[in-house]
Amino acid sequence: MKLSTRARYALRLMIDLASAESGHKPVKLKDIARRQNISRRYLEQLAQNLKRANLLIVTCGRGGGYRLRLPPDQISALDIVEATLGPINIVDCVSNQEVCTRSATCPSRWMWVELNQRMEEVLRQRTLADLVEWGPPPGPPPGRPAAGGCPDMVLGEK
């Protein structure tokens, strides 16, 4: 399973805007496209979805561009992913039992329901402010286990 390019690029667009928010000036998509190495046309499509979800403000004309509608700490990763993809739904029967005749008796359905809920929970808990603060790799965010490391061996702690 892989999260689509739409969701990942929408997150990059929003993180870029959140990083540029200090001046509260609108940011042009061409500038984001250059920094993120994503086509401007693709960003325009994503920006329309994010605007419809009331996550972006668009200012037209000279000096126009895009701004976040809310502060970065009030926009979750779930808000962004759902704005571009719709509700998280790892398996069709999670949101609609009627699509499968085995839903009522399927022992694995509850695992899919739980996985779906946990994905939503993680995405809901992570805000744009978190993502901007964490910055780019190489390492995991503070307080997270090192890749391949033991869960009790957390980066930054000795």
Beta bridge partners of 154: 145
- For the chain, the structural domain boundaries read 5-87+127-134
pLDDT per residue as tens digits for the range 35-87: 999 999 999 999 999 999 999 999 888 888 999 999 999 999 999 999 999 99
Strands (E), 48-92: 56-59, 65-68
Average pLDDT over residues 95-99: 84
Q: Report pLDDT for 154.
A: 41
Q: Report pLDDT for 41.
A: 96
Beta bridge partners of 56: 68
Q: Bigger pLDDT: 44 or 151?
A: 44
CATH number for the domain running over 5-87+127-134: 1.10.10.10
Q: Bigger pLDDT: 136 or 16?
A: 16
Q: Report pLDDT for 136.
A: 67
pLDDT per residue as tens digits for the range 114-148: 999 999 999 999 999 999 988 766 656 555 555 44
Length of the chain: 158
Q: Rounded to an integer, what distance in angstroms lies between the CA atom of residue 47 and that of residue 41?
A: 10
Tell whether pTM > 0.85.
no
Res. 107: pLDDT tops 90: no
Q: Report pLDDT for 157.
A: 43
Q: Report pLDDT for 21.
A: 63
CB-based contacts of 8: which residues, under 8 Å, 6+ apart? none
Res. 149: pLDDT tops 70: no
Q: Rounded to an integer, what distance in angstroms lies between the CA atom of residue 95 and that of residue 44?
A: 30
Q: Report pLDDT for 34.
A: 94
CB-based contacts of 117: which residues, under 8 Å, 6+ apart? none
